[in-house]
Structure 1
């Protein structure tokens, strides 16, 4: 890893250091308490009855046999919901429990509470639901023709007024497909709802957005928000799937109905039905260029399958449209992006949403164009690479660094790995397959992607932080409290690093995230280090200003190692003496620069806060006879603005790349006529340690002047460009067009 030199860290465990995670040892030792480990006295267990059909009317529900089972405390259906009977992340359209009909396989119909998990499952199995099955709508194009539209986002920008004709010396076209990917997080959905003495509920849950959960749950329970208190329980990964509600309302309903704590934990199979997935997509592109490879126009039509309910499809469509031509300067752009309703499983947020699907298509097109004009694939990209001051298809200026050409050069110039030896572990398929080296061909492929950071389109995106400075045990100590969800990305560590840096105090505690403090927004859109980090920094600065005001001395003062220090290094006072028994506490609500909604006709507008970029080079060995692939090495380069925690940054890049590799060659939720065929890790394949190759990582720190510490969101860009890079390498090895991911053996074998 190479990291450029920025300002050196001046505080142990502060910004710019690889501070240790406070939860690291517990997680490695298997002692960390996840939400599925929660327990309460007299606790009941919840179970869910789900529809086996993707589309059907509900004629009748008979709960008699379930209620009669000893140990069952409650069986609830839609009629038992005391408040709003629908919820939704952006549009309130998803029933708490199915009302009169089901719109996807796995839709919740009834819930049960019993004194043992097996009793709850047996009771659920005794509930009889009479369905009138309907033919499901599962093809997105059919849904679009029927008018089942979630959102249409056009983006139209022309090189000159009246210059609407799309003409070029060289034109390449292609149609591409992206399959449905699952987030496949470590810990399935789980939580514990505890009825409170005030008639409210205390909910401990693994989620990504405590306050939006609170709002939806309160409405469905018919309670004021202040009576629905959420605390973040241990989260075993998220990647977007925990933005929507799963069991939150169900556990709370059962707890209030029975007056007892209720725990719900999904098994892996149920988890496949209990959360949203990545949108499958069909993308048709046309690129026009000069003979020397300079892009003149890009025309695209993107159709995303949103499944049965809205979820975050509107934002996914907007991302696919606005980022749909990639990190390139293109004078004329005509993009039509659609999200539609079908009777397939609901789709919503997943790492890099919208940008992942588009990147596979536009990078495939760039390779096709490079071949057509006779240029090296990297050189073609560099000739068209955007820079600072470039104009996005939406008309927005790129104000921050845009080192697209530099990132491409870094991955291109990395030494290539040596040829494989005779070790069977180095062959496609590994020791368990029959490859012996015959028909094995090596290929190298490149890709680069672009992703927006933070919420967009005029959304009131903010984060709240409360910081308290006091003396504890004879030394200064800081308590940081936010509602930001730590989902495995290291946010708790980052908050402590910022407090140490700003207040010069080593002893920092980060309180459990809950709804007793203002919202921090969602742990998504690569935004938490930017937003909650910005809020913690601002709150620390407010605390610092209050403390320094007590000194009553003019001149530049700083807090270092628990002391107030003058600009000449002289110690003015110790924080212990200055504070005494007092507590200095500040709460700050922090916002980034404003964004604007897209023009509904042209798609023009300053819709995004910040752009992030990553490039990948993949080297693969392919057995062209058996259709087997081994990814030999991946090199990647990414501009992170400021590596707040360098080791964590590299971990995010490695993890994101792994998910991109999975989408390239193995991960797909197989849906046939609306029915999931592979809801388990037996049949839904994800990369293991044997599938992940060595990675060479270059981290650039080109600070964004508008961001706290100059940082950029890190988590999503690696997922975006890794998929097309791997597929490009397979194309280079086989000569096959490969227009769909994941690539299957039958797509490769010659």
Structure 2
């Protein structure tokens, strides 16, 4: 079941190196987790609740068990050990424990010898429900008579919230907002709303659990965080962690949606009960219920500025809908609160962010993690202020832009480059696309370039152009005192007369290109050509999650640290074997380059293969960035974040104002990446994040019925994501200002462009239409008033 790893040649730090999995993916040859196979495996299926809030009166599994080919049916009563799990708070039932709290909650599991048999058997399970009142928003969640969704809370946030249906609340207080309001020349306010976005990864949840002879289980799984999965799964199975062995399988995207468990524990439970391998693969419909989503949000902002266009104060309130279970909502609240003012210098701040428990679908990590929702609101406010003051949108932002040495509202000093004004200058300076691109040489319209595209709805009548700008700030890495570290094991040996390096981490490769970067680091530090990336599994120490733009920083740092230790072992062997014959071996600085040991002056001392002889050297190292601290629960003060990243966008759109159709022509981006370890991959990350922000701006939303809390559109037929026809030109201007605290000076890349692309697109639509547009995604009816 295990791959032999990816072997790569060529490409060092700073070079554009193609990904070894790239060709396989675009040609359809890459093996994803859904392609896993075992000759005698069973198929697992999940029965899910049709209601968002209901009491389970009875479950009759006999009709399912009576079907030929069915091996077992499991309910909450059959769980062998722990019955709940969770990333931060263990409040999520493995299977519904008498009450369902959201539409699609798992109620029972079936294992059968064919997937269709498993699905039909699940449909035969008879569940009697008693529907309960649903909690869907802040007013219903915090009302005096609101049903308390988790009455037995014991989590550390419970003591700091005003109502038990509030997961977490974080204020950020700085200065004196009331006094600053009295001095303000201009005050603007606004109410904003962000819809629930899905990660929409293309590979649905899937995995294969294989029972082992020692009573344990081997799980091959598409995930973002192997060791967090392990920490949650082992107690559910009643097994020690060393008997739950996890190997990463091919992952078809993640964007935060694979941080939480989906079918991991379910597949293992069925495998251990039946004694047979069990494969589970969600279809697209089920995938919408199988993972968390981006928190929908309601935001109120009030900004004040003086006559010179300097910000004086911000008062804001952010309400995030966390859905039925906590997932990572507390951390999302911390991000929204601490980053919710934007990349600006504001002396007086009164911010409150909170997340609710409701009967809506659970929400958690998604690319941008709390900062996306805030950025849409504060950037709309910046455009309002600029208009009131008679300033251009870029000029107003540049006057208030933070820089290195600025102090965040949390009191944290920004001690690395923060080139916000420069990014705005650069993105504005990029040439604009020519007007009326939809006109052919003969003057006839090319409908593919018009709003509505091939639907042929307009030939240019009523089409107007708009340009909008936005900039955002995102943290890098885990925050608020989390012990954020990674582990890497590096081995060097001689194979076929050449030195070969193997890099082994538990990093989940979800499409971000980490396997390429790790090989580049090994080649750079150890001077070899051939590097093999060992399959990620739990047989090496944790690499943390592939999220928070952290993997190149933290796991890359661990690989670099382990390589440095291996290099010292190689040099020690050389000194022992050759030191008496060549005095240069005694000098302090020796390097490994092009398969040889060389002095810092370039003199070759010996081939690495000769130094190693028949020996292999290996080192496993943990690497931690500088520590952070929790935010004060009352004031929000504290050194909460490791690093900040910044991106700015300029959007150019064309809008058919009669039909309410939008065509995004261009989304230019300028971003500081510290150091581009792989420029090709960096550009791809920026363009991918930009496109995901475009989706939130004009099309992506999970629609939940406000009366029943049922999901209305769980399919790619009704939940729209940008295709190649929707994706505009995305020119990228990469700035490299090194962060001295980070390996190679790098800065996390993947999330920042997701923030500012959304408000930039909406700002451009506002300019084209003159409409307020305080909600995303923008729909045709918002533009036509129908």
Please give the TM-score of this superposition, normalised by the length of structure 2.
Answer: 0.93
1:92-149 Cα offsets, whole Å, 9 max, x none, are 0000000011000000000000000000000000000000001211113321445211
Pairing 1:449-468 to 2, within 5 Å after superposition:
449-468=472-491
1:652-700 Cα offsets, whole Å, 9 max, x none, are 1111011000000000000003110000000000000000111111001
Partner of 2:151: none
> Secondary structure of the residue that 1:543 maps to in structure 2?
helix
> Secondary structure of the residue that 1:676 maps to in structure 2?
coil
> Aligned partners of 1:523, 1:242: CA distance in 2, in Å?
9
> Aligned partners of 1:86, 1:216: CA distance in 2, in Å?
9
1:466-504 Cα offsets, whole Å, 9 max, x none, are 000110111000000000000011011111010000000
1:220 paired with 2:252, answer no
> Aligned partners of 1:277, 1:573: CA distance in 2, in Å?
55
Partner of 2:586: 554
1:576 paired with 2:609, answer yes
Indicate conservation of the 8 Å contact 2:181/2:304, yes or no: no
Partner of 1:103: 101
> Aligned partners of 1:462, 1:144: CA distance in 2, in Å?
38
> Aligned partners of 2:653, 2:453: CA distance in 1, in Å?
13
Partner of 2:681: 648
> Aligned partners of 1:711, 1:54: CA distance in 2, in Å?
44
Partner of 2:125: 127
Partner of 2:726: 691
Indicate conservation of the 8 Å contact 1:140/1:341, yes or no: no
Pairing 1:444-523 to 2, within 5 Å after superposition:
444-523=467-546
Partner of 1:248: 264
> Aligned partners of 2:22, 2:355: CA distance in 1, in Å?
40
1:624 paired with 2:641, answer no
1:182 paired with 2:215, answer no
Indicate conservation of the 8 Å contact 2:591/2:598, yes or no: yes
- Deviation of the 1:25 alpha carbon: 2.1
Pairing 1:373-392 to 2, within 5 Å after superposition:
373-392=389-408
1:149 paired with 2:172, answer no
Partner of 1:336: 352
> Aligned partners of 1:343, 1:272: CA distance in 2, in Å?
15
- Deviation of the 1:199 alpha carbon: 0.2
Partner of 1:658: 691
Pairing 1:152-231 to 2, within 5 Å after superposition:
152-158=169-175, 167-231=183-247
> Aligned partners of 1:141, 1:395: CA distance in 2, in Å?
33
Indicate conservation of the 8 Å contact 1:140/1:304, yes or no: no
- Deviation of the 1:386 alpha carbon: 0.2
Aligned equivalent of 2:752, options 717, 724, 745: 717
**Structure 1 regions of 5+ residues with no counterpart?**
1-10
1:627-668 Cα offsets, whole Å, 9 max, x none, are 000001111000000111101110111110110000000000
Number of aligned pairs? 739
- Deviation of the 1:569 alpha carbon: 1.1
> Aligned partners of 1:370, 1:229: CA distance in 2, in Å?
56
1:288 paired with 2:299, answer no
> Aligned partners of 2:456, 2:714: CA distance in 1, in Å?
25
Partner of 1:40: 38
> Aligned partners of 2:298, 2:586: CA distance in 1, in Å?
64
> Secondary structure of the residue that 2:701 maps to in structure 1?
coil
> Secondary structure of the residue that 1:695 maps to in structure 2?
coil
Partner of 2:11: 13
Relative to structure 1, the CA distance from residue 339 to residue 509 in structure 2 (aligned partners, 3 Å threshold; closer, same or farther) is same
> Aligned partners of 2:329, 2:259: CA distance in 1, in Å?
12
> Aligned partners of 2:183, 2:615: CA distance in 1, in Å?
72
> Aligned partners of 1:568, 1:529: CA distance in 2, in Å?
30
Please give the TM-score of this superposition, normalised by the length of structure 1.
Answer: 0.97
> Secondary structure of the residue that 1:26 maps to in structure 2?
helix
> Aligned partners of 1:302, 1:681: CA distance in 2, in Å?
29
1:520-563 Cα offsets, whole Å, 9 max, x none, are 00000000000000000000000101111223322221000110
Indicate conservation of the 8 Å contact 2:180/2:312, yes or no: no
> Aligned partners of 1:144, 1:527: CA distance in 2, in Å?
36
> Aligned partners of 1:739, 1:453: CA distance in 2, in Å?
28
1:259 paired with 2:275, answer yes
1:319 paired with 2:319, answer no
Indicate conservation of the 8 Å contact 2:183/2:306, yes or no: no
Aligned equivalent of 1:442, options 449, 465, 470: 465
Partner of 1:525: 548
> Aligned partners of 1:165, 1:626: CA distance in 2, in Å?
41
Indicate conservation of the 8 Å contact 2:573/2:612, yes or no: no
Partner of 2:61: 63
> Secondary structure of the residue that 1:586 maps to in structure 2?
strand
Indicate conservation of the 8 Å contact 1:178/1:741, yes or no: yes
> Secondary structure of the residue that 2:731 maps to in structure 1?
strand
- Deviation of the 1:12 alpha carbon: 4.2
- Deviation of the 1:165 alpha carbon: 6.0
- Deviation of the 1:319 alpha carbon: 0.4
> Aligned partners of 1:89, 1:178: CA distance in 2, in Å?
24
Aligned equivalent of 1:542, options 565, 589, 592: 565
> Aligned partners of 1:28, 1:660: CA distance in 2, in Å?
23
> Aligned partners of 1:707, 1:74: CA distance in 2, in Å?
51
1:242-262 Cα offsets, whole Å, 9 max, x none, are 000000000000000000000
1:605 paired with 2:638, answer yes
> Secondary structure of the residue that 2:19 maps to in structure 1?
coil
- Deviation of the 1:179 alpha carbon: 0.0
> Aligned partners of 1:286, 1:301: CA distance in 2, in Å?
9
Partner of 1:3: none
> Aligned partners of 2:761, 2:199: CA distance in 1, in Å?
19
**Structure 2 regions of 5+ residues with no counterpart?**
1-8, 147-162, 440-444, 576-584
Indicate conservation of the 8 Å contact 1:538/1:590, yes or no: yes
